[in-house]
Amino acid sequence: MRTTGTVAATLVALLACAAVPAEAQPSGPRRAEHDAAPPPPAPHRPDGSVDLGGDGIWNQSWITDFGKQLVGIKEIPFLPWTKAMYDYNSKTKVAYDPQGFCLPPGGPRMFGTPYPSQFIQDDAHKRIIVIFEGGAHVWREIHMDGRPQPKRDDLNPTYFGYSVGHWEKDTLVVETTGFNEKTWLNFNGTMHTDQLTTVERITRPNLNTLHYEATINDPGAYTAPWTVAWDIPWLAGAELAEYICQENNKFLIDLKDDLGNPFFEDQPVDLPRAAH
């Protein structure tokens, strides 16, 4: 009955179109142009800079393979050791992904992990804060006061590094150094060293889109700098939710090593007996 109803509805629609004079029916390109209304423009703040926030969240996608997001080249320029580790991580089905242990998704991976984010443009303190729902509720601070980028050797290495940003017209340019080596660049096991620096270029071409681009420079892991890019959609009216990665982490409970043994084992603990 459902199929019959669909066919009948289709025939009615076709007959209705046939009854309209040819000159009254819009041509293909004109109809497509009419249907595809342009998205609203990106909002701007009183100082003229693009507003990266609003009533909503950036609904990030899961970017599992940076090799499919490359800009201008076809392959990631691995050094032999990073290529070997990439192959090993693929063979072991990325079992030892640090994010699976509830560690933060440092570097560009923050914007390629499927948990939403928000930007807070804090003019009073000349900084931008990026709040990320996943990874145990982490955040990034981007200094916007014109300070120079510190030398890497003067910094305590961290998951997200030390970020300094500025505006180039409507593009937020963020330079980051001071990363530790406790993260992967992305889900499929692309690794890095503490020599990693990144230059991120973040734009909002329209209300509903954030365009993210990151150039990765790590002479300890790659033969040349390389760039990845993708778009992130806006989800109006939504809010960040509470997410606690460490709670009931099934990944760790089920994790096995290369020999098939449990990665973690319960060990009996001898508790001291209470004195009588």
pLDDT tens digits along 198-213: 999 999 999 999 999 9
Give every residue of the chain whose pLDDT is below 50, as ranges. Answer: 1-29
What pLDDT is recorded for position 73? 98
pLDDT in the model for residue 257: 75
Residue 74: per-residue pLDDT: 97
pLDDT for position 195: 97
Domain ranges within the chain, ordered by starting residue: 56-254
Cα distance between residue 20 and residue 142, in whole Å: 59
Is the pTM value of this prediction over 0.85?
no
Phi, psi of 124 (to 5 degrees): -60, -35
Residue-wise DSSP of 178-224? -B-SSS-SBTTTB---TT-EEEEEEEEEETTEEEEEEEEE-TTTBSS
